[in-house]
Amino acid sequence: MYRLTPTHCPDDTHRVQHTAPQGVDDYLQDLDALAAAHHRVAEDRVVPAIGAGRASRDVVRRVLLEHYTVGKWITAELPLLVANAPDAYSFTMEHSTHYRHWAQRFAGEAGYLRGPSPVQAAVGWCRQIGLTDEDIRTYTPLPETIAATCTLLFYMRRSYEEGLAVLGWAGDRVTARGRQARTMVGGLERHYGLTDDGANHADDDDHGTHARELFRPAATTQAVQVRCREAIRNVLLTTACRARAMNRWVE
C-alpha cells in the first residue's frame, strides 16, 4: 500500500502539527455542509431555462461559448492529475487507482476514446446555432468565468490532493456534468434544433462517484484537510458568483 503525501505544496504543517485530523466521515460531512451553502447547481437558473426552452437563442449562444471556454481550459490541465497521481509508478496500470482514473478521464475528455470530446461537441453546437469559428476563438468570457476557472486550475497545479478535492470531490458541483449536462443537451435538441454529435455524457456520474471515493484516503491528515477545505471553499465561492452572473441573462 502506498501513502498519500502532499505534493508541490507549501509547508503548512507548523500550523496544524499539534492538532489531530477530523475523522474522514465527519470531514466529508462538513464539506457537504460547505457545498450546500455555495452550491453552483442550486444557484443555476440558466440550464433549467434551456432545458425548458425558455432561454433566448442569444442566451444559448453565450452559454455555449462559456461552456466551450471552461472545457478548453480545464481539459488541457487534466494531465497534471495524471502526472501527480501518487500511484503513477505502480507495477502496471492495473495496479494503479488514481493514475488509472485520471488517465482514463483525460482520454475521454480529450476525445481519445469513443466519440468526440466534450469540447469538440461544444464547438459543434456553437456552429449549429450560427456562430463562426472566429466567434468562438475571439469570445471574451465573463470575468466570473475567468475567476472561477483560474481558481480551480490554481489548486490543480498546487498539489494533487487539492486538485483531487476541487475536480474530484467538488467537480460535479463546479462543472456542468451529470444530470445538469443531460438537461442542457435535451433542451438543446428539443427546443433549439441542435443535435448532439456523439459526445459521451453517460459516464459523468460514474466519474464523479469514483473521484469522490479517491478523495477519502487523501483527506486523512490535518494539513491536507485544511488545504483542501480552503480550496473547495474558494472554488465553490467563485463558481457560485459565476452562476449568479449568468442568471442575469434569463431574469
Q: What pLDDT is recorded for position 68?
A: 95
Residue 84 domain flag:
yes
Give the C-alpha separation, 78 to 105, whole Å: 8
Which triple of cell numbers denotes residue 248? 442575469
Residue 199: give the domain boundaries: 21-247
In the numeric block, the cell 431574469 is attached to 251
Condensed to tens digits (0 to 9), the pLDDT of residues 184-242 reads 999 999 999 999 765 555 455 555 667 778 888 888 899 999 999 999 999 999 998 99
Residue 2 domain flag:
no
What percentage of the chain carries pLDDT values higher than 70? 83
Residue 3 domain flag:
no
Give the C-alpha separation, 230 to 227, whole Å: 5
- CATH code of the domain containing 203: 1.20.910.10
Helices and strands, number each (H, E), in the chain: 15, 0
Residue 185 domain flag:
yes
Band the pLDDT of 135: cuts 50, 70, 90. very high
Residues near 171 by Cβ (< 8 Å), separated by ≥ 6?
Answer: 177, 207, 208, 211
How many domains is the chain built from?
1
Per-residue pLDDT averaged across 161-175, rounded?
A: 79
Band the pLDDT of 18: cuts 50, 70, 90. low
Residue 11 domain flag:
no
Residue 206 domain flag:
yes
Residue 9 domain flag:
no
Band the pLDDT of 1: cuts 50, 70, 90. very low
Predicted TM-score (pTM) of this structure: 0.84
In the DSSP assignment, the letter for residue 114 is S
Residue 215 domain flag:
yes
Q: What pLDDT is recorded for position 90?
A: 87
